[in-house]
Structure 1
Amino acid sequence: TQLLSKLKSLIDQYKDEDLSITFCGHSLGATLSVVSAFDVAENLTTDIPISAIVFGCPKVGNKAFKDRFDSYPNVKVLHIRNTIDLIPHYPTGLMGYVNIGTELEIDTRKSSCLKDSKNPSDWHNLQAMLHVVNGWHGEKRDFDLRIKRSIALVNKSCGFLKEECLVPESWWVEKNKGLVLNEDGDWVLAPPEEIPTPEFD
């Protein structure tokens, strides 16, 4: 209800504009994006285009949910899925779960920058998927990076890049692990508003 009330106030505030609502998420966040898009269509508006752009999304609902979801023509889902990622296969169809939306299937194995990893968490890595989307031109076409996006982002929390890329593994470390020196001389966790967030160009 908090999301719906905030969106309602924004819709009222910008009622004279051409509006659209976009949700974006990865893994569990992808699932929440799909459910949120459905919730907005079901309980707030069917007049505004609503989209969910999701990466590595588990299956969200059964056929009845999909049919209800598809009954709203203003709601669309684009699911970017890595061919070898296991997460989008669960929960399985044996339990009644089905895919929702349009799939863009990519393959991290096409990038010359990425290792031939056997680690399932690499296959589900959001930064690796974003890297591959950047160079993806279809299954039968060459992988070719077109947009300036640092490949170092892939190794923020893993070691998926090849050694020749010269990017250290798991390089993203919060300064002092989030601890700050307080006025009493003790090291304590920083209040959330003081914790730096990464900036992307």
Structure 2
Amino acid sequence: MAGSATRAGRTLIVVGLLAVAAVAVVVVWMVVDLFRASGPGTAQFEPSLPLVAGLRADGDALVVDPGTPCESVDQLWLLFRSDDAPSVRTVLDADAPQTVDSFTVGADLPGFTVREPLPPGFDWRDYDAVDLGTDSATGFAGTTSVELQPVVDGATEHAGDDTFYVTDAGWLTHDEILAGNTEEFLTMCTPDPAREQR
């Protein structure tokens, strides 16, 4: 009797282990299929085109053009990064969902309250790059990163010509940014068409 019980117990353990192994195999294949569905060399949530925004200098100020307006925005944030200094962040909260178009960093933005202001004496030219993004009432978050040195280098040449520096695309007007959207790049608040088709 004892031997039979022991054998039955071992059988149950073996069956249980086989079931766990089968589940593990299924999970692995599901993960593999997810990566296959996103195409060769592309992570599942990597955008199909580069995410961009246009930046230009206006005197000492930095102007941002997100290209396609960012809609239903609850929060706008910018993070300035440098290898030689601590990062600096500013956060603006919307009083109600807002549409964000071109804006000047550090200036009043109608419909928003500054929750985290820039520090006194802040100069965007002291930083290497800026990460910027929006959080939306719809759940969509638009984000991008831009190197700042090209904006500094082109400030004099492009002063007053209404162009913005766009990563890997050069200096473009607002209309040219819109024309390139979904063709050469995605403006930061444009949903990825490739993801919507999956």
Considering fraction of residues, name the structure with more strand: 2
TM-score, scaled to structure 2: 0.23
Higher relative contact order (CA 8 A, sep 6+): 2
TM-score, scaled to structure 1: 0.22
Considering fraction of residues, name the structure with more helix: 1
In our comparison, the structure showing a higher alpha carbon Rg is 2
